[in-house]
Amino acid sequence: MSDESSGLTVLLQQASRGDEDARSDLFKVVEQKLHAMAERKLNAENNQVTLQATVLVHDAFLQLVDTKEPVDWNDRKHFYVVAAKAMRHILVDHARKRNALKRGGPDRRRAADDIGQLAERHTAMQSDVLAVHEALKRLAEHDSRQAQIVELRHFGGYTVEETADLLGVSARTVKGDFAAAKAWLFRELSSV
């Protein structure tokens, strides 16, 4: 393990135990990488998600370090795998909230104003995010590694090589599993 990786692991462990200085230092260290992940994901959505990368990064970071129980972070890889998962869940929650507003939500008057501002493509995109989320849950029951690879590649924006490094498998395995997972997801999403 490199000095940089071990330093990050120490910061992760200190931050998860509530050390505010470590938390601040940790954010400075991981912010750029998390922002790049968020940008890649949001750019892939063709501006159809109204969430900004900075908001996605901050929300994901808070989910990762603001927990009631300290997280036992293994290393930086573990952190970035969980960060990709957190971003996925934030995007899914965002899609659900948008759909709730579309149906009237808790405040119909405000929802009606918001709906007037939504473009049709946003509605379709939010449904797609939810459909992919549900399909990924089913894929995880079928093959958890394939689901992780999709999560890292699609929601985390990782390359094949980065995904292989994070999961401790070969790039060839990632390519094969990703191809199989995409085919499986295509069948699942086509049958909906």
Cα(1)–Cα(181) distance, integer angstroms: 31
Per-residue pLDDT tens digits of the chain, which is 192 residues long: 555 667 888 888 888 888 889 888 998 899 988 888 888 877 766 555 667 888 888 888 888 887 777 778 888 888 888 888 888 888 888 877 766 655 555 444 443 334 334 334 344 444 567 777 888 889 999 999 999 998 888 877 788 999 999 999 999 999 999 989 988 888 888 775
Model pTM score: 0.59
Tell me 70's DSSP state: -
Burial track 123-160 (b if 16+ CB lie within 10 A, e otherwise): bebbeebbebbebbeebeeeeeebbbbbbbbbbbbbeb
DSSP string for residues in 79-134: HHHHHHHHHHHHHHHHHHHHHHHHTT-S-HHHHHHHHHH--HHHHHHHHHHHHHHH
- The residues spanned by each domain of the chain are 3-190
Helical pair 76-102 and 108-117, crossing angle rounded to 10 deg: 100
Q: What is the pLDDT of residue 108?
A: 41
Which residues, at least 6 apart from 138, have a Cβ–Cβ distance to it below 8 Å? 188
Q: What is the pLDDT of residue 106?
A: 47
Q: What is the pLDDT of residue 158?
A: 85
The count of other CB atoms within 10 Å of the CB of residue 34 is: 25
